Amino acid sequence: MMSDISGKDGAESAREGPAGRDPEAVQQDPGLFRALRNHRNYRLFMTGQSVSGVGTWMQLTAQDWLVLELTHGSGAAVGITAGLQALPVALFSLYGSVLADRYRKRRVLLISQAVMGALALVLGLLTVTGSIEVWNVYALAFGLGLAVALNKPAWMAFTFEVVGPDDVSNAVGLNSATLNTAKILGPAVAGVLIAAVGTGPVFLINAASFAVMELVLCLMREDELYIKAPLARAKGQLREGLRYVRDHRDLLMVMTIMLLVSAFGMNFAVTDALISREVFHTGASSFGLVTTMMAVGGLAGSLLSARRRQPSMRGMLTAAAAFSVLVIVTGLMPSYWAFAAMHLPAGMAMTSFVTTASSLTQLSAPEEMRGRVTGLYVLTLIASNPIGYPLIGWLAEIFGPRSTLVIGGFVSLVSVVGAVAVMAPVATGLLARGAAPRP
């Protein structure tokens, strides 16, 4: 079965929108910040995201530093912490997506955000009182992963409810821009605070940032949300979501390409450290600059994506192919500064690909299925890490650090071409229209 991602059934009921809103006026607004201008609830949502995003990146930075302090510099312990935090998301995000369809998404977010804030508060109190042990960090990291598994699908689907179908692409781009800005500011602020007052207060600040998000969610006006009644509880709802994606080949194409490109191409977390240290023999500060360049490129890509009126399959495939080529070129750069500079366009292409895929996913799903569809999208994005990271590390040991980018980018590019070829009937029709699928 095919769907047409430009959106009829999935968005038709929501297109009428809240009472008193003129859909034509919304459609005619071409500005970069149109979602902010058109929707009071989104202005609140963006405020909460900005504060909470910076707090989250502050905590991630401080958590790594705390683990290193507690274990006297054990990199393995840092990896264990990250793994324990990611594992529940991979295992339980699909179940979280069912809850996102079964209950009001704002209620799911209120609960999950409160849990995340409480975990940050406990971590902060244990640290400032000197009672913290490394097993405490492991347990709290795992708990945070469970909360994220509940939060992430609802968070993605809630963006649609806040802005409706006409502005969802713009909102996803602005969300990504906020995330990349937080990724730049959060570690920098955390570094200053850790040096001045230690890691404990950083965790307490992050706990306070979740309180801001809770307040923002409470201040939203229910009658201005694009929502329908939640799905009634029933057996087999998770399988129903999986069948829906299987039967809509355009959605299947989006998620297949996301899985393959993220598994083989999006491995900078591993490759940057290896190449910076083993090839160019730089220190930690230079490695940090490479990470910042990627985030700046991602910010630029987010803003460019936010300017689009509607996402398209053509745009997603172009961005995926461009990113794959840029990954190869980055791996071939002869000097550290050229290597670092290539992270700007690579970050732009990667963010454009991810935001376009996210927008297509949200627009293609009907309201009663959106949580489960976005949950599967989250799983394809996250589940690729356990697949790609060990493979990339193995390639680095056999062929050298540069191969991690060159081979990974090449496999990513071949994956895009192969996915298009296998699903050629879908791709041909969608690319001819230059539009996104709809259910």
Note the pLDDT tens digit of each residue in 329-347: 999 999 989 998 999 999 9
- Answer whether residue 110 shows pLDDT above 90: yes
Question: Looking at 214-223, 325-334, 427-436, which range is the least confident one?
Answer: 427-436
Identify whether 1 is part of a domain.
no
Which residues, in sequence order, are CB contacts of 46 under 8 Å at separation 6+?
36, 174, 175, 178
Which of 18-22, 209-213, 270-274, 377-381 has the largest mean confidence? 209-213
Identify whether 24 is part of a domain.
no
Give the pLDDT confidence score for residue 357 in this predicted structure.
Answer: 87
Residue owning tokens 């997506």: 97
Give the pLDDT confidence score for residue 20 in this predicted structure.
Answer: 43
Q: How far apart are CA 237 and CA 228, in angstroms?
A: 17
Name the residue among 60, 62, 50, 41 with its Cα closest to residue 209: 50
Identify whether 181 is part of a domain.
yes
Give the pLDDT confidence score for residue 8 in this predicted structure.
Answer: 42
Range of the domain at 146: 8-12+36-223+237-433
- pLDDT interval class at 14 (50, 70, 90): very low
Give the pLDDT confidence score for residue 393 in this predicted structure.
Answer: 66
Backbone conformation region of residue 260, classed left if phi is above 0, alpha if psi is from -120 to 50, else beta: alpha
Identify whether 29 is part of a domain.
no
pTM: 0.73
More confident residue, 420 or 170: 170
Identify whether 18 is part of a domain.
no
If one counts the domains in the chain, the total is 1
Contact (Cβ atoms closer than 8 angstroms) between residue 416 and residue 349: no
Identify whether 19 is part of a domain.
no
Identify whether 293 is part of a domain.
yes
- Answer whether residue 434 shows pLDDT above 60: no
Identify whether 17 is part of a domain.
no
For residues 144-171, give the mean pLDDT. 86
- Answer whether residue 82 shows pLDDT above 80: no
For residues 132-139, give the mean pLDDT. 93
CATH number of the domain enclosing 186: 1.20.1250.20
Average model confidence (pLDDT) across the chain: 80
- Answer whether residue 436 shows pLDDT above 50: no
